Chains A and B, each alone.
Chain A
Amino acid sequence: MVLIGSEIDIESVKEKLKRNEAGAIVMFLGEPRRSPEDGNVVSINYTAYEEMAVKEAEKIECEAKNKFPVLDVVIMHKLGNVPLRDISFLVAVSSPHRKEAFEACVWITDEVKKRVPIWKEIIYEGSRNSK
């Protein structure tokens, strides 16, 4: 896993995952959102237990490679303030066929959200609050 403070570069991730054997690359991009139930969100501030987050995500990558016939996995998470429309979280998977790539991408995304020690503070228009 890569934890970064700058923009997530989707093109470089795509290049990293390209292989002659890869018939599919599936990518999930997470972004902060605004909706009636979320309120007037302007950004999300992410913090992490960085050393453990990297280690736990590496475990998830290894488990995914054992569980699904995937060729490569990239997990990236942005830390610090992420405004609406910016990418905060990326999971990308390459595999020979699309079905395994989709399944692995969903599984990895869920596991990261369950296990990797990253926290968010939601920033609302005009005030700072966490939710």
Chain B
Amino acid sequence: MFGFYRLERIFQTEFFDIIRTMRIKVLYFAEAYKILNRKEEEIEFSESSIAEFLNNLRKLHAEISEILNQSMVAVNLEYRPVDYALKDGDTVAIIPPVEGG
């Protein structure tokens, strides 16, 4: 019974987590927007945290790597820490240092 439960859990979580991909909408502003010449894009992503997402983004867009290091991240209009777990359909905004006023 326990073994069956464990197998079932593995199939429900760990196994499917490995192959699951999410579609994340990414928004770029200020210098990041200027360098990439795009306001947004959709990225497929198989990990979960913002930190992992940023690592993938650094590989994809090395030209904004420095900006990513200085930026805050907002998910669905809220600032989130780097250990925050993303989910399918989230909108991630890269927020370079703000300069209002």
Contact = CB atoms under 8 A, between A and B. Distances in A.
A113 B100 contact: yes
A120 B77 contact: no
A106 to B, nearest CB: 12
Interface string B75-96: 0010100000000000001011
Contact of A52 (B30, B77, B96, B101): B77
Contacts of A112: 100-101
B100 A77 contact: yes
B100 to A, nearest CB: 3
A104 B44 CA distance: 44
B31 A89 contact: no
Contacts, number: 51
B26 interface: no
Contacts of B96: 119
Contacts of A19: none
Interface of B: 27, 29-31, 74, 77, 79, 93, 95-96, 98-101
Contacts of A48: 100
Interface in A13-46: 30, 46
Give the top 9 A-B pairs by smallest Cβ distance, nearest first. Answer: A118-B100, A119-B30, A120-B99, A89-B101, A52-B77, A113-B101, A30-B101, A119-B99, A117-B95
Contact of B93 (A109, A115, A116, A117): A117
A89 B101 CA distance: 5
Among B77, B93, B95, B101, the one with the most A-chain Cβ atoms within 10 Å of its Cβ is B101
Listed residue (B30, B31, B96) with the most chain A CB atoms within 10 angstroms of its CB:
B30
A12 interface: no
Interface in A78-131: 88-89, 109, 112-120, 130
A94 B74 CA distance: 31
A109 B77 contact: no
8 contacts: A49-B95, A52-B77, A52-B93, A112-B100, A113-B100, A113-B101, A116-B98, A118-B98
Nearest to A28: B101
B98 A47 contact: no
B29 A46 contact: no
B29 A49 contact: yes
